[in-house]
Copies of this chain bind each other. A is one copy, B any other.
Amino acid sequence: MKLNIALLPGDGIGPDVVVQAVKSLQAVADAFGHTFHFEEALVGAIAIDKTGDPLPEETLAVCKKSDAVLFGAIGDPKYDNDPKAKVRPEQGLLKLRKSLGLFTNIRPIKAYPTLIEKSPLKKDIISGTDFTIYRELTGGIYFGEKKISEDGTIASDLCEYSEAEIERIAHLAFKATRSRKNKLTLVDKANVLETSRLWRRVVTTIGKSYPDVELDFLFVDNAAMQIILNPSQFDVILTENMFGDIISDEGSVIGGSIGLLASASVGSDIAMFEPIHGSYPQAKGKDIANPVASILSAAMLLEHFNLKEEAETIQYAVEKSLEKGVVTPDLDKNSTYGTNKVGDFIADFILHAE
């Protein structure tokens, strides 16, 4: 397969980790006979520095002619700590998501057996946890009409959803269960919210076309409890934007290793893949950033193009690196491996495993 991949390393440790993901992708290309063509572009603080714009037109053009985008991280204290800053790095990411129509955020959450002692949860609770959250990303209260009264004493935010917005993500989530455990949990607050009742109605109807998928429902407050009490019960969780924000961040910490978590943002056309961690500017260029989340984001990219064996090869190489203790200091403070060596190990393993 030929793939054109736009690389947007961004700020802080973004460039440090994206280069390692590219190594793994190149190894997959060599091992499986694919051709991946990479084109780099500016985004975030570095783009503001060089062009004044956190998402220059040229970058958007590079993304739009690509098949997928591999994103690093965004954010720099120079702008974040300046309340007067008119352009902010984050605007680049938001504009990019919008321009590419990325309406679904996908976040796999997995407890790696070798890292289980790092979890804040007890071993018997976190063991076996392996689920994915499908969060609606462009609708709901974050994007609804905002009002503030003239005298500034009454404020409001509108949460709105249409059938069509729910349908498109619901199909993605139902399909995703089929390569997993065939179980979908809709998280909502249908006992109180009209939008949640619409979600429940639409998802129930769509569920009839997926008779092999077990569908259940959980109120968001209960979901927030269940993620702590019994996270291994979940397979795929589907939810609206704000609930997804809260639930997926809650879920991100239960494995104890946020530096490993990848994500995908998917729309009708070009998809984007990125680690969930931030730009961590203090670690920039120090060869200490954990490249695994970025490498697993590359695996999600391959999965997106149905290159399942290729994706699994990366995932397996990552698991081997964890098992053998070839990890950055965030996972083992006595480790002498840096970002580069971990990236090399994983890429070598991919080639070697074939």
Contacts and interface: CB of A to CB of B under 8 A. Distances in A.
A129 to B, nearest CB: 12
A305 interface: no
A222 interface: yes
Report the interface size class on chain A: 35 or more
A159 B162 contact: no
B246 A228 contact: no
B158 A158 contact: yes
Interface stretch (A48-56, A66-74, A189-197, A295-303): A189-197
Nearest to A195: B155
Interface stretch (A21-29, A104-112, A146-154, A207-215): A146-154
A98 B159 CA distance: 24
Copies in the complex: 2
Contact of A160 (B154, B160, B189, B245): B154
Given A120-B121, A125-B120, A158-B156, A222 B197 contact: no
Nearest to A124: B120
Interface stretch (A250-258, A323-331, A342-350): A250-258
Interface string A163-195: 110000000000000000000000001001111
A234 interface: no
Chain A, interface SS category: helix
Contact of A155 (B141, B194, B246, B254): B194
Which of A121, A194, A245 has most chain B Cβ within 10 Å? A194
A113 to B, nearest CB: 17
Interface string A240-274: 00100111011011100000000000000000000
Contacts of A250: 221, 224-225, 228, 250
Nearest to A198: B155
Contacts of A153: 162-164
A216 interface: no
A308 to B, nearest CB: 31
Contact of A222 (B125, B157, B164, B249): B249
A16 B189 CA distance: 31
A194 B195 CA distance: 19
Contacts of A249: 221-222, 224-225
15 contacts: A119-B122, A120-B125, A120-B229, A121-B228, A141-B141, A146-B193, A152-B163, A153-B163, A154-B160, A154-B198, A155-B198, A157-B193, A157-B194, A158-B159, A221-B245
4 closest A-B pairs by beta carbon, nearest first, are A155-B198, A146-B194, A224-B250, A221-B249
